[in-house]
Amino acid sequence: MENCLFCKIIKGEIPCDKVYEDEEILAFHDINPAAPIHILVIPKKHITSLAHIEKEDENIIGKIYGVINKIAEEQGFKQDGYRVIVNCGKNGGQEVMHLHFHILAGKRLGEKIV
């Protein structure tokens, strides 16, 4: 997808601080961290948002949660816990229109909404 920031990161046109990569998934540190550890996990396929998931994408969503678990283990925050957030659309506060899962960790997180 042209003009998509995260597609440009996937293509290597924009650098990122990579945490994990396989054929379908990329994870990298958020440029503006909201917690001591703030990692974004994205599908390499351009999916605009959670609201744009098709039947064929459901597999990749499961895999992303598997990758999140693996990252938590490898980065050493699995034991202490973490929060996963997906902002969707205008009311959800989504700014980058390429589906991404925020992993927040490294401190006791406040502002619990739900």
Nearer CB in complex with ligand AMP: 32/91: 32
End-to-end alpha-carbon separation of the chain, Å? 33
Nearer CB in complex with ligand AMP: 25/40: 40
6-25 footprint of Zn ion as x/- string (CB under 5 A): xx------------------
Task: Please give the backbone phi and psi of residue 108, each rounded to the nearest 5 degrees, phi first.
Answer: -70, 115
> Among 50, 60, 61, 96, which residue interacts with ligand AMP (rule: CB under 6 A)?
96
Residue 100: active-site member: yes
- Which helix (H) or strand (E) segment holds residue 41: the answer is strand 37-43
